[in-house]
Amino acid sequence: MVKVRAALLNRREVLQGAMAAALPFGAVSCGGKKSNVLQVGGLPVTCNLTLPVACVARAASNALAKTDTANFAYEYSKYSGWPEIKESLMAGSIQAGYMLAPLVMDLADKKIPTKIVSLGHRSGAVIMVRSDSPYQTFKDLAGKRIAIPSRFAVDFLFLRKMLARENMTPADIQIIEMAPPDMPAALYAKAVDAYCTGEPFGAAAQRAGYARVLRMTRDEWRNYICCVLTVREELIQKNPALVQDLVNHVLGAGVWLDARPENRAKAVAIAAGRNFFNQDPNIIQFVMDNPVDRVTYGDLRMIRAEFEELMELSLQAGTIKHFIPYERYVDESFAKNAQAASIPL
């Protein structure tokens, strides 16, 4: 497990940055001196981009506040994979994190006290093939090797949907589970013929020139959701105000991200830093621009029918063994009471 604890926010830097309308993002973090500091786990993927933005926005608001009373603060904890975040949530070593929606369903069914309280994004998954390949349809990929992050990943459900449209099943291809950061190199080396994953790992190969998009969710599955903000129920019971504030900032970050291209550029500068994704900003910016709705963040409504569609698809895939009631894994109250926070960046 890779874990990064952000350094404390420098008040003067934030104030100067706000006045200049350009925060020194590399120096800014989610930390704070208050007792209401919450570690939130996430992966370095653009589906999690609302988290660094929410984190820095809350820290900026604290720095600009006229008093030091009861400000909340968030510390971003970077993980290398979903299983690591899952284990940390199960053990209670973190109280909140971005998770794959089907994984949370499974945790709740196993009586691990966790609840989804907000979406984190929409769209953002791609199926990539080599630029020099002849593949145009999934029929062309019959018998070929296709990498997926996990059978619990919604990317896998996306792949299944695309196969079904051409009267195919996963039995018609060779499925390989692989960490998303390894997928571009595997495609380049022809170790796989295609891969299905979230960004920026499709954009990395596309921008390098050796891969092209076969399908993306923004064209094929407009209400696609994958990463969701998940918290332990004990946090909901002990500090609901903190959970509400976090949801408000995630929703505020989503609205802010989709409002202006300039905001997305600022978000790229935030996320690319060492305290967050620690990635090439040019690749993250490529995701933001090609096309601009490759990943979207402004519509983070919790819609029961969309979760139940994921449930049905997961049942068909065999990753979930029986129907799990919506109320067992979702707490809608925070989303219903949410007021999108101002993002002073």
Question: Are 117 and 74 part of one and the same domain?
Answer: yes
CATH of the domain at 233: 3.40.190.10
pTM of the model: 0.88
Question: Is residue 6 domain-resident?
Answer: no
Q: What is the pLDDT along the chain (345 residues), one digit of tens a residue?
A: 333 333 323 333 333 333 223 333 333 344 444 457 899 999 999 999 999 999 999 999 988 876 554 589 999 999 988 889 999 999 999 999 999 999 999 999 999 999 999 999 999 999 999 999 999 999 999 999 999 998 889 999 999 999 999 999 999 999 999 989 999 999 999 999 999 999 999 999 999 999 999 999 999 998 899 999 999 999 999 999 999 999 999 999 999 999 999 999 999 999 999 999 999 999 999 999 999 999 999 999 999 999 999 999 999 999 999 999 999 999 999 999 999 999 999
On whether the CB atoms of residues 278 and 44 are closer than 8 A, the answer is yes
Which residue range(s) make up the domain with 273? 11-122+224-336
Question: Are 250 and 197 part of one and the same domain?
Answer: no
Question: Are 192 and 232 part of one and the same domain?
Answer: no
**How many domains in the chain?**
2
CB atoms under 10 Å from CB of 109, counted, come to 16
On whether the CB atoms of residues 102 and 314 are closer than 8 A, the answer is yes
Contacts by residues 87-91 (CB-CB < 8 Å, ≥ 24 positions apart): 87/1, 88/1, 88/41, 89/41, 89/114, 89/230, 89/232
Question: Is residue 341 domain-resident?
Answer: no
Question: Is residue 192 domain-resident?
Answer: yes
